Amino acid sequence: MVSRNIYVTLGLFSNFTSLLANFPLGLDSTNPNRHPVHNPVNHHAIAPSQLPMTPVIPTTCSQLPLEKITHLMLRDLPGYANRVTQRARRLKRQGETYSYILVAGKAEFQPLPLNPQPTSRLPDYQESSDIEQVFFTTLERRYTAKAAIEMQQYHWLLLTKTPEGWYQVSMRSQTGSYPSRPNQILAPLRDSSQGVVGEAVNLWLRDCRANSVKF
């Protein structure tokens, strides 16, 4: 069962680069080989080993590790998916059934054996031999003319990292009831790479590569 309250805890980073660049060492600018001049703020020269270390911080979204990328993506995925749905409805202007993603979560990273290798939708120049697997669940509310039905979607997402950033290789999904019932039978596994959630993943990864995602 997907929890309706999913909290993503982001680390708080500190960057000392600008502080170190302007740190007063009290040197005589006319003769740097002389002893440090008197400085009421910094009376003694500071050895390099005493300076605080600048932490190594990823500067772009695509440099983040898989686990962090996944948690950020699941945080934003409902909004991305619902915008995909709204655009599709405006284009078709027909049909009385539509869905909204309420929440995404329960990420797992234990891989399954890939044999044979999945067919990739990436251009050749973006191919990578390293494929990462992510499993997650979305809670969806589907509106019909008579009722609103809630269901869970179970997703198996394959990702690869290239020099440009993370890309989706493919995605498979199954539909189940909500709340889950004992011994429930899931719908057959289907290719969802070009479905609503698959398209939302692609859009989020695009924004991540463009460093447009807040983290």
Structure tokens at 141: 């509310």
pLDDT on residue 128:
46
Task: Average the pLDDT over 32-40 and give the result.
Answer: 42
Task: Average the pLDDT over 19-24 and give the result.
Answer: 32
pLDDT digits (tens, 9 = 90+) for 184-198: 777 788 999 999 999
Q: Where are the domains of the chain?
A: 14-57, 61-209
Return the number of other C-beta atoms located less than 10 Å from residue 173's C-beta: 21
Structure tokens at 101: 């993603």
pLDDT digits (tens, 9 = 90+) for 131-154: 899 999 999 988 777 888 888 999
pLDDT digits (tens, 9 = 90+) for 46-94: 454 555 555 545 568 888 899 999 999 999 999 999 999 888 776 665 5
Residue 185 CB partners (closer than 8 Å, separation 6+): none
Cα–Cα distances in Å, from 101 out to 126, 130, 172, 205? 30, 30, 17, 18
pLDDT interval class at 206 (50, 70, 90): very high
Strand ranges of the sheet holding 165-177, from the earlier edge strand across to the other edge: 98-108, 131-143, 148-162, 165-177, 190-191
Peptide bond before residue 36 is cis, with ω within 30 degrees of 0: no
